[in-house]
Amino acid sequence: MVRSGVIKWWWPAIVWMTAIFIGSTDVLSAQHTSRIIGPLLRWLVPDISPEVIGAIQWVIRKTGHAVEYAVLASLFWFALNGSRRGTVRIWPVQLAWAAWLLASLYALSDEFHQSFVGSRQGQVGDVLIDSFGAAAGVILIWWVGRFRGRWRDPTP
């Protein structure tokens, strides 16, 4: 029987993974997002060149990759850390690595999934960006926890 605590901590990660999966279909392909970003940029800067629009779209899309995987790694970390919350202790390095690894493996599976979508491509570079974002998410949790005094120094 599954404990309700497990579901309580894992459901946000599962919902986020589902959102990533849906976004990896044609719904958020470059063709669809360019229909939003391009006109918005042209409205803000009427004489903007197509090359600049393309570069800005690329930056926005890759930043989106990093951010979505920073969130996913954070959700994995909270799910793995779940029942151990509320105590001041040494930073759980193993949980941080596990959260990063789970997010990076999901990034790999996501790019594999995209290779079967006609309007998408699976790209190794995106897996690297996603893994970087996942690392940033875990590091941000460490930094905020350190700032708030949740992690104590491992030396006596």
- Domain assignment present for 90: yes
Nearest to 98 by CA among 82, 111, 85: 82
Domain of 109, in residue numbers: 4-21+65-147
- Domain assignment present for 75: yes
Domain count of the fold of the chain: 1
CA distance 35 to 125: 24
- Domain assignment present for 131: yes
Say which range, 39-48, 75-84, 126-135, has the weakest mean pLDDT: 75-84
Q: What pLDDT does residue 24 have?
A: 82
CA distance 71 to 50: 31
Q: What pLDDT does residue 83 have?
A: 57
- Domain assignment present for 59: no
Q: What pLDDT does residue 59 have?
A: 92
- Domain assignment present for 76: yes
- Domain assignment present for 129: yes
Nearest to 76 by CA among 114, 111, 109, 105: 105
pTM over 0.95, yes/no: no
- Domain assignment present for 72: yes
- Domain assignment present for 70: yes
